[in-house]
A and B are shown apart, each in its own frame.
Chain A
C-alpha cells in the first residue's frame, strides 16, 4: 500500500511538471481514478497552491474565460417569474444583455467559420425590422366564474384556505370557497402556491383548475397546457392531476406535465419521488407518454432536466422534433407559425434562453439548421426552406 502510494506521488509530481512519459499515462490515470473520492479530493486540494506550469499567457486565459462566460450566460438565463421579488425592469435589462451576449456568440461563431479565408471580416448581424418580445409573467384568474387579470409584476399567487394572495403578501381575492382556475395566455407564465404548500410553475397557454375542496377532501388539479409541480407530501390526501384521458396520482413529488391540446402526446416527466400515470408507475428521470388518440401509454428513460428547462428560463430543444419546437416558440412569443412549403427535415438541438427577442432565436435557428424564417405583421412567422 505504501509502495503504491509512493509511486503514485512520483507519477503525480512528474505529471504536474509536464515531465511524465506518455508510456506511464495509462498507469498513472488508472491509479489516480481508482483512489477513493475523499483521497482524490484531498490531493486536488493539496495542490491548489502549486505553481502554474502551463506557461499560458494571462491574456490567453482571459480571452478563454470570456468565451466560457458567454456560454454560461446562454445556459443560465433566469426565468423572470421564479423570484417573488423579481423586478421586471431588472429582468428586461438582463434580457437585452442576454440577447447581446447571444448575438456576440453568434458573431464569434461566424468569425471562427470564416477567419481562415479572410483575416479581416466585418460581420454584420442584421435584425429584422419587425421584432417580437419574449413572453413574461401574465395570467388571468377565474374564481367562481368571475374573471380577474393578475398583476404581472407580482409574478405569482398563493392560495390559502379562503383567499388568494400575491407572493408579496398583498391580497388578490378575498373570501371564496369555489373552484379556482388560473389561465396563462400565449406569451405568459405564472407561479402558484397551493393551500397545501405545493408549488406550481405554469407555462404559456395553460389552463389550471384547482378543485373547490382542495386540501380538504382531495387534492385535485385539472391541467391543459404545461406545468411543473413540487408537491408537498401528504399520504392522507393523494394529489391528482387530470389532463384529458390521463390521470396522475402523486404522494409527494417533483414532476412536469406537458399536456397541450394541440399536441398529440401528453408527456409527464418525473424529477424526484414516484408517480402513477393512469396504470403506469414511473421513477425519477422517466417520462410517461400518453398518445391521446391511440389511447396508449409508453414509458421512456429521459434526462428530466431537459423537460423542466423551461422553468429555469431556458429552451432545451434537444430531442424535440422541429415542428414541436416551433409550436413551443409560437406559444411563448404568441405567434402563428406558417410553413412556406413543408416542415424542414432538420433537428434543432441545443439550448437558448427564454428571455431573448424573437430575432435572436431566428439567428440561432439559422445558424444551427440553415432554416430561414421571417416575421410578418399580424404576429406571423413564415418558415422558408
Chain B
C-alpha cells in the first residue's frame, strides 16, 4: 500500500464520516469484492452472504461517525463483518434446513470444474437436477458454467440483457440446490466432489 493510496483512503474515510454518500459508495466498490469472497468461504450460499454483506455496509453507514481514519478501514469493516458472520453461523447452527442450504451451495460450486470424480451417484444427482430446470435456465447454466461463456456473450447470443443472464443463473443455481435438498436429505449421502459431464 503506497503513500498515495493511504492519503486517498484517509480522505475517503473523513468524507464518509461527514456523511458523504459518494465516499461510502467508493469504499463499497473498493472493499466489498474481497469481503464477499471472504464471507463466501464460511457461509457458502450467495444469498446468506449477500444478506450479511448488506447489513454490514448499512451498519458501516450508521456507525460512520465512530470511524478513526488513522486506523484505516479494514479493521472497522471486518469487526462489523465478523460480528454479523458469527450471528449467521449461530443461526445456521440452530436451523437444520439452513444447514442443508449451505451444503447444497457448496456442491453447486463444482458444476463447472472437472474434478477427478469417482462417484457416479453424485453425478447422477446433478444431472437429474439440471434436467428439471426450465429450458431457458438450463441453457444459461450450461453456457455460463460449463462452456465458460461470459455474460456478455450469452446475452448477445440469446438476445437478452446481461442483468437477465445474471438473474437466471442465480435462479438456476437455486433450483439445483432446492432439487438436491428436496430429494437427497438422507443421511447416507457422503462426500460431494462432483463432476458434470455433458453428453451430447
Contacts and interface: CB of A to CB of B under 8 A. Distances in A.
Interface of A: 16, 18-23, 25-26, 29-30, 32-33, 37, 40-41, 44-45, 47-48, 50, 52-65, 67-69, 71-72, 75-76, 78, 82-83, 85-86, 90, 94, 97, 108, 111-112, 115-116, 119-121, 312
Contacts of B160: 115, 119-120
Contact of B136 (A64, A119, A312): A119
Contact of A37 (B58, B86, B167, B193): B86
B92 A64 contact: no
Contact of A111 (B58, B163, B189): B163
Contacts of A119: 136, 158-160, 164
Given A50-B41, A72-B58, A41 B86 contact: yes
B78 A48 contact: yes
B179 to A, nearest CB: 15
Contacts of A120: 159-160
Say which size band chain B's interface belongs to: 35 or more
B38 A48 contact: yes
Contacts of A16: 41-42
Contacts of B96: 26
B54 interface: yes
**Contact residues of B: prevailing secondary structure:** helix
Contact of A76 (B46, B61, B110): B61
Contacts of A112: 167
A167 B34 CA distance: 40
Nearest to B134: A116
Given A61-B36, A108-B167, 12 more contacts: A16-B41, A40-B86, A41-B82, A52-B37, A61-B37, A64-B46, A68-B54, A71-B54, A72-B61, A76-B62, A115-B164, A120-B159
9 contacts: A16-B42, A62-B33, A63-B162, A68-B54, A69-B32, A76-B57, A76-B61, A108-B167, A115-B168
A299 B99 CA distance: 38
B28 A69 contact: yes
A86 B189 CA distance: 59
A67 B36 CA distance: 13
A54 B37 contact: yes
Interface in B62-90: 62, 78, 82, 85-86, 89-90
